[in-house]
Chains A and B, each alone.
Chain A
Amino acid sequence: MSSTNPSSSTNVLFEALRLELRRGCLVVAVLAQLKSEQYGYTLRKSLSDDGLIIDESTLYPLLRRLESQGLLLSEWREENKRNKRFYRLSNSGAEVLGQLLDEWRRINSSIDRMVDPRTKDQSTTSNAPVSDRPQHHEILKES
């Protein structure tokens, strides 16, 4: 009699892969939300309102790391009689966000084509220049 529960081990594996998948996406989401200035708690709320729930213990350290990498700028200011640290996207952060979003869209459309044959057919019959397509292979090779 085996003590291993297959569905439980699948769940554990799924959870690990899900976290891996989310990790990079969270950076893009945080950078995207910080086009307008926010502080930690309101940012977490706005991400949550847009369907991306993120733990405080993940978000707050992430903000500090992105700031130390020069992608965000921060400033302490008083609001509602409390001092708060407001974050916003820096110029290099905006540039990196643009590049990350391009990458994100390319990965997304590649995966769409792989998992949905109809999208693939549309893609092959489309009039899009062929020179645009090899990028998908490059991405897959990298990942």
Chain B
Amino acid sequence: MARLIRTEKEVEGRYEEVWLVVEEDALDQWPEGPLDVVGRPAARIDGLERARGEAVYTADVQLNGMLHAAMVRSPHAHARARSVDLAPALALPGVHAAIGPGEIPKLADLCGYQGAPVAAVCADTEAQARAAAAAVVVDWEVLEPLVDPDEAVRRGQLLSEPRVRERGDYERGLEEADVVVSGEFRTQTVLHNSMETHQSVVRWVGDELEVHVSTQYVWGVRDELASGLGLPADRVRVICNYMGGGFGSKNDAGDYTFVAAELARRTGRPVRCALSRREEHLAAGNRNATIQRLTIGARSDGTLTALGGEFVNAVGWGGWVAATDGPMHALYACPNVRSTLYGAKLNTPPMKAFRAPGFVEGTFGLETLLDELAAKLDLDPLELRRRNHADADASDGRPFSSKNLLECYRRAEPHWERRHEVRARSTDTVKRGVGMASQVWYGGGGPPSYAWVRVGSDGRAAVVTAMQDIGTGTRTAMAQIAAEELGIPLDHVTVSLGDTARGPYATLSAGSSTTPSIGPAVRAAAADARRQIEEIAEQRGTPGAPLAEVVSVLEDAQILGKGARGPNPTGMQVLTFGVHVAEVAVDVETGEVRVERVAAIHDVGRVINPLGAASQIEGGVIQGIGHTLSEERLLDPATGAVLTTSLDAYRLPTIADVPEIVSELVDVPDRHLTNLGSKGLGEPPIVPIAAAIANAIRDATGADVRSLPITREELLRALREAAERERRGAPAAV
């Protein structure tokens, strides 16, 4: 029965109180451990389609008469367009329409970052459109850019009020400490670099808008377009069958979709608006840089007495203030915590969510400083973490719906024990070491999400739900859940998704929430179908007969099951946990860091597809290694211009940078969370890797790394500082 509840909704660590109609989740969880289909490795059901090039991504959509749009972007970090002359563009061959600032809300004359769109054109070909965009004449009034986050805080140029969070008495906690460590940590701006750039293809079909878009949230795009264009929501149809990644940067409709919609309206033709890789590096979002001034107080036995931090997020011209302070409040049982979080509004491209936004950055600072504490107390870092384990949410005392972090630590032991052997392989110039870091993040998902399951007389089933598969393999996971519940082979299940006109609402693919949100709805729908099939079997006098035999008499009749995601457990905190152990080799003369092995152990409740889960962990670790060692978006300090617009200047890791990755999952269902007991795994694997690597560097060399990426410059600086400390007689970290 449907029930109206007031509940907390969490996306990417942001909470809001909402009224929700939910349906009770009446199913008991499956027994623990691998079942017939669920819990067993399954190759992606759409893998061949993707590999053969048959899968149609937004970038592949070709509609009759389709035009191509291109944007005119501000070359300045801060400028106002005094005038925009579209006429030279309109005079060029193949050009059909052009729009300037104010003609749609997404095009404005005041540009707060380099790459901000001021006008757009469309033409028969992409080359014509780009030539036309270049021909638009803009008279720019160049304004002073502000790119220094600390300066923005001093001037009070913030996106929102500073957030102060405190529990206990921080000052008293510091007084109770036997040892206090503190340090300033910095993380850099990094770019998502999805394989498929941000893009959409839009056409008007009568008074209905059809939108093909590379998105993590078909329903969100639908609602944003409907409200922005003044249309009833059911006049907007959003389609995304396959997408080439998003990592948090494709949660909204994007200016490109509004531009395409307006140009399609003016021309009466379908319009594609696709960002180039260089535009992607300017105006498609980023993980913002942070500055973290952290303090940890502890008693000599390692018990934490105080955690404090001043965090500055260099948010950019827009976006939101991600919870860089989150790990400090969530990871340990410390009674006294105080943090202040500033969101600096700068003349830099707006941030967007990027795979565990805030927690990736905050974990680097906290977990790196924690190992400095361990070194100072001469405590084993693993033991230090165990001693401060939080048995319940330390902020409000709520119990966790499930938490197996201690089991993660136990499984980390054999990897952690390798450090003696790893260190012994050091030479005069190449030092080796092992480091670890813990992970905490959200990932419980929530209602609402819905699914339908259709079973025909051929004994095959179709799952219908208007979710999207961001590329994580959720299509396969949903098929496994339905196959398990129905008791049929995986290859008898198809999944129809990615179209708001063809299926019920399903939540966004962000915040590690897809599987824990939509999976239970799929299981409920399959169970509804199975119940009907069992009733038919009883009426035929063959109770317990196999599904295929029962439905074989149906002819054109179909069994239709429907299911909904039930509520999250009341009064409980739902989080994911894990630990990484990294092994590094550091050339102390040239500053080169090589990651040689990473053991990644995660607790995300029941695992639906161990093969897909291993892929998620490997992908997170690899993306995290890029974040840790080589990736950085650089700005010209004087003008705020982006210097790393191409993939030779912006350095993603290559396959040659990928170490041996050992992934392990605790795989115990969360018995309080839904009919599956599953949490999400998209984000957790990128959270602890930077700190694990930094801590391994300290283990190898005694150097305290303080900023990302750990370039040769940063490493050689840290080594010099460590040598200086040793010369002054202070105890070295190892």
Do A and B bind?
no
Interface residues of B (CB under 8 A from A): none
Chain A: residues with CB nearer than 8 A to chain B? none
